[in-house]
Chains A and B, each alone.
Chain A
Amino acid sequence: MDDLGARINLKLIEELRQYGEFNVQNCFSCGHCTAVCNLVQPGESFPRRVIRYAQLGLRDQLAATKAVWSCYYCGDCTLSCPRQATPGQLMEAARRYFIVHWDITTLSRRFYTSPRFMWVSTTVMAVILGFLFLATGGDVVSKRLALFEFMSYDFLHYLGIAVIALVALLMMINAGNMAFHVMRVLPKTPATGPILWIRDALLACKDILDDMTIQSRFSKCRGNESEASLPWYLSRRVIHLCIMWGFLGLLGATTFDFIFKEPGSYVPLYYPGRLLGTVAGIPVLYGTSVSLWLRKNHRGGASFERTMLSDWFFLWLLWVTTITGYITEVAVYLPRGSILGYGIFLIHVILAIELILILPFTKFSHVIYRPVALYLHALHLRRRARGYEARVPLAVGRPSDIPSSA
Chain B
Amino acid sequence: MENRIGVYVCHCGTNIAGKVEVEKVAEYAGSLPGVVISREYRFMCSDPGQEQIREDIAKHRLNRVVVAACSPRMHEKTFQKTLEKAGINRYYLQVANIREHVSWTTEDPETATKKAMDMVRAAVARVPLHGPLPTHEVAVNKEVMVVGAGIGGIQAALDIADGGYKVHLVERLPSVGGHMSQYDKVFPTLDCAACIGTPKMVAVGMHERIQLHTYSEVEEVSGFVGQFKVKVRHKAAYVNHEVCTGCGICQEKCPKKVPSEYDMKLGKRKAIYTLFPQAVPNKPVIDRDNCIYFQNGKCRACEKFCEMKAIDFAQQDRVEEIEVGSIIVATGFDQMDPSIIEPYGYGRYPNVITGLEFERMVVGAGPTLGKIQLKDGSVPKDVAILHCVGSRDLRYHEYCSRVCCMYGLKHAHQIREKIGANVYMFYIDMRCFGKGYEEFYNRVQNEGVILIRGKAAQVTDQAVLPEDEGRLIVTAEDTATGEKVYVPVDMVILSAAMEPRVDAQQTARIFNINRSKDGFFLEQHPKLAPVNTAVSGIFLAGTCQGPKDVVDTVAHAAAAASKSLALASKGVVETESMISWINPEVCVGCQTCISVCPANAITYNERRGISSVNEAVCLGCGSCAATCPSGAASLKHFTADEVLAEVDALMGA
Contacts and interface: CB of A to CB of B under 8 A. Distances in A.
A42 B481 CA distance: 11
B455 A30 contact: yes
B392 A35 contact: no
Given A42-B483, A49-B482, A82-B455, A31 B477 contact: yes
A34 B395 CA distance: 18
B479 interface: yes
Interface in A71-88: 80, 82-84
Interface string B447-475: 00000011111100000000000000001
B395 A31 contact: no
Contact of A48 (B394, B395, B475, B477): B477
B617 to A, nearest CB: 46
A393 interface: no
A35 B477 contact: yes
Given A82-B395, A84-B394, A84-B395, A45 B479 contact: yes
A35 B476 contact: yes
B489 to A, nearest CB: 16
B455 A32 contact: yes
Contacts of A226: none
B175 to A, nearest CB: 37
Contacts of B476: 31-32, 35
B388 interface: yes
Interface in A37-72: 37, 40, 42-45, 48-49
Given A29-B479, A30-B455, A45-B477, A35 B484 contact: yes
Contact of B455 (A31, A45, A84): A31
Interface residues of B, number: 22
A32 B477 contact: yes
Most buried by B among A30, A44, A45, A84: A30
Given A31-B478, A35-B454, A45 B484 contact: yes
A43 B457 contact: no
A34 B388 contact: no
Interface string B476-498: 11110011100000000000000
Contacts of A49: 482
Interface string B517-537: 000000000000000000000
B456 A82 contact: no
Nearest to A45: B482
B47 to A, nearest CB: 45
B394 A83 contact: yes
A374 to B, nearest CB: 19
Of the four ranges (under 10, 10 to 19, 20 to 34, 35 or more), the interface on chain A belongs to 20 to 34
Interface in A1-59: 28-37, 40, 42-45, 48-49
Contacts of B343: 36, 80
- The SS class assigned to the A binding surface is loop
A273 B392 CA distance: 60
A30 B478 CA distance: 9
A81 B457 CA distance: 10
A34 B484 contact: yes
B454 A31 contact: yes
A49 B455 CA distance: 15
B393 interface: yes
B479 A48 contact: yes
B429 interface: yes
Nearest to B428: A30
B395 A35 contact: no
Given A28-B429, A30-B428, A48-B477, A35 B456 contact: yes
A43 B475 CA distance: 15
B403 to A, nearest CB: 18
Contacts of B393: 82-83
A45 B480 CA distance: 10
A285 B388 CA distance: 48
Most buried by B among A31, A40, A44: A31
A44 B429 CA distance: 22
B596 to A, nearest CB: 40
Contacts of B388: 30, 82
A32 B428 CA distance: 10
Contacts of A32: 454-455, 457, 476-477
B475 A35 contact: yes
B483 A30 contact: no
Interface in B377-433: 388, 392-395, 428-429
15 contacts: A28-B428, A29-B479, A30-B428, A31-B476, A31-B477, A34-B454, A34-B477, A34-B482, A34-B484, A35-B456, A35-B458, A42-B483, A44-B482, A48-B477, A49-B482
Given A48-B482, A84-B394, 20 more contacts: A30-B388, A30-B479, A31-B478, A32-B455, A35-B458, A35-B484, A36-B457, A36-B458, A37-B484, A42-B484, A43-B482, A44-B482, A44-B484, A45-B482, A45-B483, A45-B484, A48-B479, A80-B343, A82-B394, A83-B393
